[in-house]
């Protein structure tokens, strides 16, 4: 019995150490006085599939996963959307987790088109925001805030190059993980990391 208790105690300690290991915080950090200031997502303002304005405030006290895509893309986006739908299915009942997909072809991807897209995918707009806006603002926030590539390139088959990354953002707007949204194993890791982030 004694041995059992010792073992149980040991295991519980072991359990704690695994649980407490935090996810990394991406990007530059500056020390201001005694505080460390981490890279965080800059201010943004876009419009989603319901014509609602979506800003950083929308994600206040929420964890969210961001990506960049466009609806007419037939290369990596359908795979990304298949994978993001898997993430959606796991977070559907978690009040503190949202999804944010930016269109990098905002001229074509109008609100009406994004609305149709989300509806056909069968997802709720309050849980998964598909946003459009000023092209330059979207490209800028992709590059400078999310460290994701997004730009026009007429030589590409569908006219754009963009990364297939999913970015995990914490409640303070900091990037806590980057995953390849075209790879099932990587998205499984993301699904696990969402839980890790929620529990600490």
Say whether residue 161 binds other proteins (CB under 8 A): no
For 29, 59, 84, the CA distances from 182, given in Å and listed in that order, are 29, 25, 9
Q: What is the DSSP letter of 49?
A: T
Scanning 40-48, 49-57, 81-89, 104-112 for contacts with other proteins by CB under 8 A, the matching segment is 81-89
User: Closer to other proteins at the Cβ: 33 or 122?
Assistant: 122
Asked whether position 135 contacts other proteins by CB under 8 A, the answer is no
| Closest to 130 in 3D by CA, of 142, 114, 141, 150 | 114
Is 75 near other proteins (CB under 8 A)? yes
User: Of 66, 69, 39, 42, whose CA–CA distance to 56 is shortest?
Assistant: 42
CB nearer to other proteins: pick between 119 and 156: 119
* Coil vs helix vs strand at 155: coil
Among 25, 76, 111, 191, binds other proteins (CB under 8 A): 76
| Parallel/antiparallel/unpaired status of strands 97-103 and 63-69 | parallel
Window 83-112: residues binding other proteins (CB under 8 A): 85
| Contact status: 15 vs other proteins (CB under 8 A) | no
Residue 38: enclosing H or E segment and its boundaries?
Answer: strand 35-38
Number of residues lying near other proteins (CB under 8 A): 16
Nearest by Cα to 59 from 70, 71, 48:
48
Segment contacting other proteins (CB under 8 A): 16-24, 44-52, 116-124, 161-169? 116-124
Binding positions for other proteins, rule: CB under 8 A: 71-72, 74-76, 78-79, 81-82, 85, 116-117, 119-122
């Amino acid at each position: 019995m004694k041995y059992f208790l010792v073992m149980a105690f040991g295991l519980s300690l072991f359990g704690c150490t695994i649980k407490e290991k935090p996810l990394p915080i991406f990007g530059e950090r500056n020390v201001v006085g005694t505080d460390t200031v981490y890279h965080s997502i800059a201010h943004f303002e876009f419009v989603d599939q319901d014509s609602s304005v979506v800003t950083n405030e929308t994600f206040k006290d929420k964890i969210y996963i961001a990506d960049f895509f466009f609806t007419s893309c037939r290369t990596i986006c359908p795979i990304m959307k298949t994978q993001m739908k898997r993430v959606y299915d796991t977070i559907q009942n978690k009040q503190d987790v949202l999804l944010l997909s930016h269109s990098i072809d905002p001229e074509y991807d109008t609100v009406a088109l994004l609305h149709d897209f989300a509806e056909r995918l069968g997802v709720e707009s309050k849980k998964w925001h598909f946003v459009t806006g000023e092209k330059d603002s979207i490209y800028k926030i992709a590059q400078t805030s999310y460290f994701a590539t997004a730009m026009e390139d007429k030589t590409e088959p569908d006219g754009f190059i963009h990364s297939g990354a999913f970015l995990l953002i914490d409640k303070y707007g900091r990037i806590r993980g980057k995953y390849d949204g075209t790879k099932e194993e990587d998205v499984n890791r993301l699904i696990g990391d969402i839980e890790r982030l929620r529990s600490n």
